[in-house]
């Protein structure tokens, strides 16, 4: 679908690039010629993904980094820039779980806000500062959610964090446009991954896309990876401050959390207790 070498000579950092959609984007960017840096908290997950990509001849580095920690983010960016500047940052790392919002402790809310909002902000500010200092063009792609449009019951800290990162995307598109830095975003609908399924679709919650997706199916990882490749490439060089929705029409029908309104307090308590045991 794209010309070979679309992303040649691009150095791209993907946060949370060891698993799920991050790993899918990594594979596609590598096929299109990019060199990659993948970060996350689990070294073995990063290594496994990197080895698979290297076996196809791709240039992939991994850095263990918890994006909740601003000093760790700065150390990671210093390590990257010591070799060569990044061209693209992908804010993909995030966390969520379903819960009754009135029962969230401050620690539970922060467990979601810290990686999803603060992590994306630390990475964006760190990369942006270096691009501006070095007079280097750059692209920030953030993986958000349709909760930025509809809100979403029972994942309120995630909806808040994703909406804040959308505000950052629009604001910095203006502030950093004259510095040749573009900011774009994708709002994915359901793209099943082990992480999303574990956090959002416990036993007893329908996983049938026909119940909620107008197009009647979930998204394919290659579809998201192709959209991401286009948005970070020069082909999208006149797009900034925009979020592209890729959800088979789901958000036009509802937020996707309506079924949870029918859960009883007993069901919620059982879900919470189940999490405590696992
Ligand atoms: C919405 C659609 C768009 C987004 C999609 C995605 O993001 S898909 C991507 C999905 N991928 C990922 O999410 C990957 C990344 N995920 C993670 O890093 C972790 O799963 C975590 C940080 C979300 C939770 O870590 P953990 O379970 O080890 O938690 P912890 O030990 O760090 O505790 C912190 C606090 O949170 C509390 N608490 C926790 N669960 C629940 C609950 N169900 N109910 C109530 N509360 C809960 C816990 O009790 C504690 O508070 P306390 O008791 O001290 O007051
Ligand atoms: N899959 C879907 O249907 C949807 C996904 N999204 C978004 O897509 C993105 C990817 O999600 P998905 O692939 O499904 O889920 P995953 O759970 O596979 O991805 C989350 C990644 O983020 C990393 N991560 C989490 N916390 C941190 C942290 N503090 N520091 C560094 N890395 C961290 C994880 O690695 P580690 O644990 O090793 O740190 C993991 O690789 C997220 O932004 C999510 O919100 C949005 C809507 C729908």
What is the predicted pLDDT for the residue at 277? 60
In a domain, 6, yes or no: no
In a domain, 4, yes or no: no
Question: How far apart (Å, rounded) are the C-alpha atoms in residues 5 and 199?
Answer: 36
Nearest ligand to the C-alpha of residue 111?
1
Residue 69: HSE in the Cβ half-sphere, 13 Å Cα cutoff:
10
CB 128 within 8 Å of CB 176: yes
Full pLDDT tens readout for the chain, 278 residues: 889 899 999 999 999 999 999 999 999 999 999 999 999 999 999 999 999 999 988 899 999 999 999 999 999 999 999 999 999 999 999 999 999 999 999 999 999 999 999 999 999 999 999 999 999 999 999 999 999 999 999 999 999 999 999 999 999 999 999 999 999 999 999 999 999 999 999 887 888 888 899 999 999 999 999 999 999 999 999 999 999 999 999 999 999 999 999 999 999 999 999 876 65
In a domain, 103, yes or no: yes
CATH of the domain at 170: 3.40.50.720
For the chain, the domain total comes to: 1
Question: ipTM of this model?
Answer: 0.98
In a domain, 42, yes or no: yes
Tell me how far the alpha carbon of residue 65 lies from the centroid of ligand 2, in angstroms.
Answer: 14
Q: What are phi and psi of 18, to 5 degrees?
A: -85, -15
Q: How many CB atoms lie within 10 A of CB 231?
A: 21
Probe target for ligand 1 pocket from 111, 199, 255, with the most ligand atoms within 8 Å of CB: 111
What is the predicted pLDDT for the residue at 275? 79
Question: How far apart (Å, rounded) are the C-alpha atoms in residues 213 and 189?
Answer: 9
Give yes or no for residue 205 CB within 6 A of ligand 1. no
CB 148 within 8 Å of CB 166: yes
In a domain, 117, yes or no: yes
Domain that holds residue 135: 11-277
In a domain, 3, yes or no: no
Give yes or no for residue 275 CB within 6 A of ligand 1. yes
What is the predicted pLDDT for the residue at 204? 77
In a domain, 150, yes or no: yes
Nearest ligand to the C-alpha of residue 186?
2
In a domain, 5, yes or no: no
CB 99 within 8 Å of CB 270: no
Give yes or no for residue 82 CB within 6 A of ligand 1. no
Question: How far apart (Å, rounded) are the C-alpha atoms in residues 266 and 114?
Answer: 29
> If you take atom 38 of ligand 1, which residue's CA is the nearest one?
108
Q: Which atom of ligand 1 is nearest to the CA of 145?
A: 3
Torsion (CA) 208, 209, 210, 211 in degrees, nearest 10? 70
Nearest ligand to the C-alpha of residue 207?
2
């Amino acid at each position: 679908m794209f010309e070979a070498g679309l992303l040649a000579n691009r150095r791209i950092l993907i946060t949370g690039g060891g698993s799920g959609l991050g790993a899918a984007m990594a594979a596609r960017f590598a096929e299109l010629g990019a060199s990659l840096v993948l970060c996350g908290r689990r070294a073995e997950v990063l290594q496994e993904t990197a080895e698979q990509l290297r076996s196809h001849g791709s240039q992939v580095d991994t850095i263990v980094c918890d994006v909740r920690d601003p000093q760790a983010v700065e150390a990671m960016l210093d390590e990257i820039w010591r070799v060569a500047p990044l061209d693209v940052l992908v804010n993909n790392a995030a966390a969520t779980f379903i819960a009754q919002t009135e029962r969230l402790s401050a620690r539970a809310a922060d467990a979601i806000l810290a990686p999803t909002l603060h992590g994306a902000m630390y990475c964006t500010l760190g990369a942006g500062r270096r691009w501006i200092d070095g007079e280097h063009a750059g692209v920030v792609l953030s993986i958000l959610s349709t909760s930025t449009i509809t809100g979403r019951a029972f994942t309120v800290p995630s909806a808040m964090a994703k909406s804040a990162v959308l505000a950052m995307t629009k604001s910095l598109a203006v502030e950093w446009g004259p510095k040749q830095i573009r900011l774009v975003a994708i709002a994915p609908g359901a793209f099943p991954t082990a992480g999303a399924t574990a956090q959002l679709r416990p036993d007893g919650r329908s996983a049938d896309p026909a119940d909620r997706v107008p197009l009647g199916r979930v998204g394919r990882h290659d579809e998201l990876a192709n959209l991401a490749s286009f948005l970070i490439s020069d082909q999208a060089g006149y797009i900034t401050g925009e979020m592209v929705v890729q959800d088979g029409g789901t958000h036009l029908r509802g937020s996707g959390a309506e079924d949870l309104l029918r859960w009883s307090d007993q069901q919620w308590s059982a879900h919470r207790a189940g999490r405590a045991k696992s």
